[in-house]
Amino acid sequence: SQQGEEDPQALSIQEGENATMNCSYKTSINNLQWYRQNSGRGLVHLILIRSNEREKHSGRLRVTLDTSKKSSSLLITASRAADTASYFCATDAFGETSGSRLTFGEGTQLTVNP
Amino acid sequence: DAGVTQSPTHLIKTRGQQVTLRCSPKSGHDTVSWYQQALGQGPQFIFQYYEEEERQRGNFPDRFSGHQFPNYSSELNVNALLLGDSALYLCASSILAGGTDTQYFGPGTRLTVL
């Protein structure tokens, strides 16, 4: 079963705009990770945020984590057509050894129009 | 530095047949996890191998089995294939002993069962 839900399921924006995707999860976690997937190919790791962190940046990416609400958001600033992909959040459950199974959400399909 | 590699890229089988998928982890990684991703969904955890033993298992039937070799590479075997086994099978590698939380994914094997 899926741990979390991503919102929205699909997002279409123009190049240069910002894109925000949200993820909710159900159980306590060690960390939360965001991945990108292009056209049904392999997953590319974007960023990891630990349960004791609230915000993290990497280039044009900004991730926030609210453990009290069991939710996270991924912001992509100044989007480009090459950002078109599916984005997944994945959680590493608390209580298990870190680096154990990841539980993924259903994903958000982002389309950036040139 | 080679990333995670998987073979074959694509595979077509018929119901009732057996299939073996292969994965070579990223250099220096000792742990391999397998995930199944049905079309339009997020990946689901099948199992994880560490030190040549199955360390964790998801909610998959015994038809799904695996193996890890001394060089850390891994195989996923599926017996008595069903139409519902058609999916993208993803392998991910990580370093369990070093406490690295990030899992790095391969490009996947697309399995079609007819």
Look at residue A1 in the predicted model and tell me its pLDDT: 40
Mean pLDDT of all residues in A12-21? 97
Look at residue A95 in the predicted model and tell me its pLDDT: 59
B66 to chain A, closest Cα gap in Å:
16
Instruction: Kindly report the backbone phi and psi dihedral angles of residue B95, in degrees, each rounded to the nearest multiple of 5, phi listed first.
Output: -115, 105
Asked if B77 and B92 count as a contact pair (C-beta separation under 8 A), the reply is no
Predicted confidence (pLDDT) at residue A3 exceeds the cutoff of 60: no
**Measured between beta carbons, which residues in chain B are less than 8 angstroms from residue A31?**
101
Look at residue B98 in the predicted model and tell me its pLDDT: 58
User: Residue B94 burial by CB count (10 A; 0-12/13-18/19+): exposed, middle or buried?
Assistant: buried
Look at residue B100 in the predicted model and tell me its pLDDT: 59
Q: Taking all residues of chain A, what is their mean pLDDT, rounded to a whole number?
A: 90
Task: Tell me the residues of A at the B interface, defined by beta carbons under 8 Å apart.
Answer: 1-2, 30-31, 33, 35, 40-45, 48, 50, 88, 90, 92, 96-107
Look at residue A57 in the predicted model and tell me its pLDDT: 96
Grouped pLDDT means (10 residues each) for chain B, 114 residues: 90 98 94 95 94 92 97 97 98 78 91 97
Give the whole-angstrom CA distance, residue B43 versus residue A31.
Answer: 17
More confident residue, B20 or A28: B20
The string of pLDDT tens digits covering residues A49-101 is 999 999 999 999 999 999 999 999 999 999 999 999 999 999 987 656 656 78
Q: Tell me the two tokens of residue A21.
A: 């995707």
Helices (H) and strands (E) in chain A — how many of each?
A: 0, 11
Size of interface A-B (CB pairs under 8 A): 75
**Subunit contact B59:A99, Cβ cutoff 8 A:** no
Predicted confidence (pLDDT) at residue A30 exceeds the cutoff of 90: no
Cis status, amide bond into B8, omega within 30 of 0: yes
Look at residue A2 in the predicted model and tell me its pLDDT: 46
**Measured between beta carbons, which residues in chain A are less than 8 angstroms from residue B93?**
none
Percentage, residues of chain A above pLDDT 90: 72
Look at residue B101 in the predicted model and tell me its pLDDT: 72
Q: Tell me the two tokens of residue B69.
A: 């070799």
Cβ neighbours around A64 below 10 Å, total: 16
Q: Tell me the two tokens of residue B54.
A: 């199955």
